[in-house]
Copies of this chain bind each other. A is one copy, B any other.
Amino acid sequence: MNIGTIAQKSGVPAKTIRYYESIGLIPSASRRPNGYRDFDQDDLQTLRFIQHARGLGFAVKDVADLLALWREKKRASADVKALAMRHLESIDRKIAELGTMRRAVEHLVHRCHGDHRPECPILEDLAGDINHA
A45 CB within 8 Å of chain B: yes
Contact of A85 among B48, B77, B87, B109 (CB under 8 A): B109
| Chain A binding surface SS class | helix
Chain A interface residue bracket vs B: 35 or more
List the B side residues contacting A82 at CB < 8 Å: 114
Complex Cα distance, B81 from A20, in Å, reads 42
B45 touches A127 (CB 8 A): yes
A98 touches B91 (CB 8 A): yes
Complex Cα distance, B53 from A119, in Å, reads 18
Complex Cα distance, B91 from A109, in Å, reads 13
B57 touches A101 (CB 8 A): yes
